[in-house]
Structure 1
Amino acid sequence: MSDSQAHTAQIIDNAEANRYEAFVDGELAGFAEYIRTKNLIAFVHTEVNVGYEGQGIGAALVRSSLDTARTAGLAVLPVCPFYAGWIARHPEYRELVYTSRSKVND
């Protein structure tokens, strides 16, 4: 199923639980856990419930959370392999990825 077929998922930011949650017909279909600081959001784990696999739930979670990060001006650290892979396939989101700006001088 393509990303566009995930239109039935409602994505919410459950800040108390530090995760984005995907609901389909009022039922939790999946989630993406994160750690957030003032300037950065690290996505550390994504899980889609078995009954919803292959329906674009993971893609909907990633797209929605990255769009929110972009709007908030947050850099993104894709620790979760699902996030890293999704961003690699969607170059329009690569500029959000955090890169260290510090240098070690010899």
Structure 2
Amino acid sequence: MSDITIRHNPDRERFEVLDAGNVIGKAAYKEYDGGASPQRIFYHTVINEEYGGQGLAGKLATVALDETVAAGIAIVPVCPFIKKFLTKHPEYSANTAATTPAHPEFLNEPSPRARA
């Protein structure tokens, strides 16, 4: 690994792993306001294949979930990786919202940017 960093890119609704400034992984989400409090639906996490096996997905998930909790936003795990990560990290359970049928429906709606 060379210059690996993780950042939040709210304009693209994702947390990103970068190697020397190039995006090599992401945890994508959509903000959802259909409950008692704001929620962040994590729906896709990926690390480029050539960076596999270095623990980057776990580091990405930790940063993404820590920043989500710090912002007072509930975690909604739709992404299989995030779901599995949460089973191994019960410290996030108080900040996790159960996935409901409304969450996948919301994910399938066209984004406001796509309609504009």
Which band: TM-score by shorter chain? 0.7 to 0.9
Post-superposition shift, 1:15?
Answer: 1.2
Q: Given the alignment of the two structures, is residue 37 of structure 1 paired with residue 32 of structure 2, yes or no?
A: yes
Aligned residues: percent identity?
Answer: 33
Aligned to 2:12: 17
Post-superposition shift, 1:66?
Answer: 0.6
One-letter code of the match for 2:10?
A: A
Deviations 1:68-89 (A, max 9, x none): 0111111110100000000101
Q: Given the alignment of the two structures, is residue 26 of structure 1 paired with residue 21 of structure 2, yes or no?
A: yes
Range moving further from structure 2, 28-37 or 76-85 = 28-37
Tell me how many residue pairs correspond in the alignment: 94
One-letter code of the match for 2:42?
A: F
Q: Given the alignment of the two structures, is residue 71 of structure 1 paired with residue 66 of structure 2, yes or no?
A: no
- The 4+ residue runs of structure 1 with deviation greater than 4 A are none
d(CA) in 2 for partners of 1:74 and 1:9? 26
Unaligned stretches of 5+ in structure 1? 1-5, 101-106
8 A Cα contact 1:18 1:33, kept in partner: yes
TM-score, structure 1 normalization: 0.80
TM-score, structure 2 normalization: 0.73
One-letter code of the match for 1:33?
A: A
CA RMSD of aligned residues (A): 1.8
What secondary structure is seen at the aligned counterpart in 1 of 2:65?
A: helix
Aligned to 1:58: 57
Deviations 1:3-49 (A, max 9, x none): xxx9x631111111111100123332200110013510010001110
Unaligned stretches of 5+ in structure 2? 100-116
Tell which has more relative contact order, 1 or 2 (C-alpha 8 A, sep 6+): 1
